Chain A
Amino acid sequence: MKPTPILKVQNLKVHYPVRSGFINFKPQSFLKAVDGVSFDLFPGEVLGLVGESGCGKSSLGKSLLRLQEPTAGQIELSGQDFLALKGEALRSRRPEIQMIFQDPYASLDPRMTIEATLREPLEAHGLWKSTQSQKTLNKILDRVGISSVALSKYPHEFSGGQRQRIAIARALILNPKIIVADEPVSSLDVSVQAQVLNLLKEIQKEFNLSMVFISHNLAVVKYIADRIAVMYLGKIVEITSKTELYSRPQHPYTQALISAVPIADPKVEKARKRIQLQGELPSPINPPKGCAFHTRCPIVKESCKAEAPKLKDFEKPSWQVSCFEVR
């Protein structure tokens, strides 16, 4: 039997209005950052979300927490319609899904001590109980590898890697079921990046968390994710298990993306054949008609310019590709 998803996203859309005039406030057009995305997230699973800048992966991440209200679509959190919730009902569900942001220099308040930063989520949800919570605080800080001496310090006293650990602690403090991590290691140096990645993986296993891991770095995603969704101009073009995606990518964009990632081994690099994509990401305000990828696709056919392909099963229901040429 298939497990029930903890998060079910259906046909989600995030459109931003583009206003050009000062007086004419009516939106002239819409930037379709996320344009009809559907996926399931299962308990204890890490779903990687990859794509180039501007493909809508961050907008999607934020809309999962309703930090950015989706324009259309459905999100079910543990079987309940998350988008229909309002007021107190919404607030009481928010602890279940937490976020880690890319830049720990911006996501921690410079004027709050680490203790205040970690206490705030508990207090906001009325969960602060002085002695017991203080213990939780120390325990979580210890778990992310920060000494409890840090509680009275301010963010500027920590390095980037340590700050990201604190941000992880803040996301964990409400005991969430789901964590959305938006490029959590992109701003860190290689040696520190590995530390934080290992920590995230350990914590995910230990607390049996479900995670949406957003990144442009395919090597990092390969390390941490179980399943991976590849996005291009607001849509998922391929979604499957990590093993299949890296060994037999089907969508021409996935193939090009994987072949473009440099590998830290000169022998491998010299022997590799790259699929060179021409041009760059088209504007999401006026995406190309038909398949959004047709302007750069190496195997484009006339029909691709007229009609947009839909996600279809490839070999099995868990592997979906949106391309006419993949059968």
Chain B
Amino acid sequence: MALLEIKNLKAHFHTRKGVVKAVNGISYSLNPGETLGIVGESGSGKSVSQLSYLRLLPSPPLRIPEGEVLYRGENILTMSDDKLRALRGNKISMIFQEPMTSLNPYLTIGSQLIEPLVIHSKLSKKVAWKEACEALNRVGIPEAEKAMKVYPHEFSGGMRQRVMIAMALTTRPEVLIADEPTTALDVTVQAQILEILKTIQKETQMAIILITHDLGVIAGISDKVVVMYAGRVFEEAPVDTLFENSEHPYTRALLKSTPRIDISQEKIPVIGGTIPDLSQLKTGCPFYERCDYRKDICQAEFPKVRKVSSVHESFCHVENFK
């Protein structure tokens, strides 16, 4: 059984200007020990899809009109707040993009680190303190005892992100949702952080959902990749398949338009146009206007899933790519 299964999830924001359809019916699943990469440009719904079912977004304006999110077979969407609270930050943990804003500046690292342990694992403060020190060691922070007593502003961005990871890991989660965990960091620090995530995953067998816009990061860490665009899943495939034999024109165009350091290019192939306005989505495929392969049917209806193989799904009316 899948650890986490998302079925036809929709997340809409009801604003004064109209309904912004941020997530528009997405489905995928996550197995234990697996790393699922979710890639997409800004506004593709990759973050909202996660935040919405964890009830981390204000509602209203958020509404989830349809869908199911099953954690070990149980629907998170219909869970009571208390039950979800016991799960969130415990068995399902999150790391956010901005380590500056996601730590409380008024509290020491230590008091923030022991909080999940005291609340979720019901440990005494003393035991929790010890566990937290160990967690800091695991993410490569030297002199953990000393680090526990400092405030977030005394740490650099990379160190803060390590603290965030340590905090997310103290309760030994089964699912770690990492939302652009390295976007605010420098490349050398990014390499360190990704390495830590990989090592810890090997030890604990936790599953990771990694949300990013960086195809390079996806290539290095994921087992399976979901490509999102304008609130839809366009393609899902094992990482090697996606990069080599993508069956979706958007994925292909995205891969081509990413500059790479191992290739010399005279001109980068571009995707013309811009991302559609999510409050004014038309019927049909949201990529229609920018697509090189578009057909009449694409404008009429969003394509049904096409199984390329048992693990590779594409949502496109076009079947044969050269």
Bound-complex Cα distance A293 to B29 (A): 45
Tell whether, in the assembled complex, residue B192 and residue A276 are in contact, meaning their CB atoms are under 8 Å apart: yes
Tell whether, in the assembled complex, residue B240 and residue A197 are in contact, meaning their CB atoms are under 8 Å apart: no
Tell whether, in the assembled complex, residue A264 and residue B257 are in contact, meaning their CB atoms are under 8 Å apart: no
Question: Using Cβ atoms and an 8 Å threshold, which residues of chain B touch A267?
Answer: 240, 243-244
- Please tell me if B258 contacts chain A, counting CB pairs below 8 Å: yes
B185 vs chain A, min Cβ distance (A): 9
Tell whether, in the assembled complex, residue B255 and residue A264 are in contact, meaning their CB atoms are under 8 Å apart: yes
Q: Which of A193, A222, A260 contacts B187 (CB 8 A)?
A: A260
B237 vs chain A, min Cβ distance (A): 11
B110 vs chain A, min Cβ distance (A): 21
> Which one of B143-151, B171-179, B264-272 is at the A interface?
B264-272
Q: Which of A201, A218, A265 contacts B219 (CB 8 A)?
A: A265
Given known contacts A190-B257, A194-B271, A246-B261, A264 and B191 CB-to-CB distance under 8 angstroms: no
- Please tell me if B66 contacts chain A, counting CB pairs below 8 Å: no
Tell whether, in the assembled complex, residue B264 and residue A222 are in contact, meaning their CB atoms are under 8 Å apart: yes
* Number of CB contacts from chain A to chain B under 8 A: 131
- Please tell me if B275 contacts chain A, counting CB pairs below 8 Å: yes
Question: Using Cβ atoms and an 8 Å threshold, which residues of chain A touch B158?
Answer: 280
A interface footprint on B263-293 (CB within 8 Å = 1, 0 otherwise): 0110111111011000000000000000000
A152 vs chain B, min Cβ distance (A): 21
Pick from B220, B259, B271 the residue with the most CB of A within 10 Å: B259
Question: Using Cβ atoms and an 8 Å threshold, which residues of chain A touch B190?
Answer: 260, 262
Bound-complex Cα distance A269 to B221 (A): 9
Q: Which B residue's beta carbon lies closest to that of A268?
A: B262
- Please tell me if A216 contacts chain B, counting CB pairs below 8 Å: yes
Tell whether, in the assembled complex, residue B191 and residue A260 are in contact, meaning their CB atoms are under 8 Å apart: yes
B193 vs chain A, min Cβ distance (A): 11
- Please tell me if B189 contacts chain A, counting CB pairs below 8 Å: yes
- Please tell me if A220 contacts chain B, counting CB pairs below 8 Å: yes
Tell whether, in the assembled complex, residue B188 and residue A52 are in contact, meaning their CB atoms are under 8 Å apart: yes
Bound-complex Cα distance A194 to B266 (A): 12
Question: Using Cβ atoms and an 8 Å threshold, which residues of chain B touch A193?
Answer: 257, 259
Bound-complex Cα distance A220 to B272 (A): 19
Bound-complex Cα distance A220 to B269 (A): 14
A interface footprint on B235-250 (CB within 8 Å = 1, 0 otherwise): 0000110011000000
Tell whether, in the assembled complex, residue B254 and residue A190 are in contact, meaning their CB atoms are under 8 Å apart: yes
- Please tell me if B82 contacts chain A, counting CB pairs below 8 Å: no
Q: Which of B186, B213, B269 contacts A216 (CB 8 A)?
A: B186
Q: Which B residue's beta carbon lies closest to that of A51?
A: B186
- Please tell me if B204 contacts chain A, counting CB pairs below 8 Å: no
Tell whether, in the assembled complex, residue B268 and residue A194 are in contact, meaning their CB atoms are under 8 Å apart: yes
B9 vs chain A, min Cβ distance (A): 23
- Please tell me if B195 contacts chain A, counting CB pairs below 8 Å: yes
- Please tell me if A128 contacts chain B, counting CB pairs below 8 Å: no
Q: Which of B93-133 contact A (CB under 8 A)?
A: none
Bound-complex Cα distance A256 to B187 (A): 10
- Please tell me if B84 contacts chain A, counting CB pairs below 8 Å: no
A146 vs chain B, min Cβ distance (A): 13
Q: Which A residue's beta carbon lies closest to that of B194?
A: A262
Q: Which A residue's beta carbon lies closest to that of B223?
A: A266
- Please tell me if A130 contacts chain B, counting CB pairs below 8 Å: no
Question: Using Cβ atoms and an 8 Å threshold, which residues of chain B touch A306?
Answer: none
- Please tell me if B41 contacts chain A, counting CB pairs below 8 Å: yes
Question: Using Cβ atoms and an 8 Å threshold, which residues of chain B touch A274?
Answer: 191, 195
Bound-complex Cα distance A189 to B253 (A): 13
Taking A52-B189, A264-B258 as given, write out 16 further A-B residue pairs in contact, using a Cβ cutoff of 8 Å, ordered by the A residue number. Answer: A189-B42, A194-B270, A197-B268, A220-B259, A223-B265, A223-B268, A262-B194, A263-B216, A265-B219, A265-B262, A276-B192, A277-B191, A277-B192, A280-B156, A280-B159, A280-B188
- Lowest 6 CB-CB distances: which A-B pairs, in order? A262-B216, A264-B215, A52-B186, A194-B257, A191-B271, A189-B41
- 9 A–B contacts, CB within 8 A, in A order: A159-B275, A189-B213, A197-B268, A223-B259, A262-B187, A263-B219, A264-B260, A265-B243, A268-B219
Taking Cβ atoms with an 8 Å cutoff, the residues of B that contact A are 41-42, 156, 158-159, 186-192, 194-195, 213-220, 222, 239-240, 243-244, 253-255, 257-262, 264-265, 267-272, 274-275
Taking Cβ atoms with an 8 Å cutoff, the residues of A that contact B are 52-53, 159, 161-162, 189-195, 197-198, 201, 216-220, 222-223, 246, 256-269, 274, 276-277, 280-281
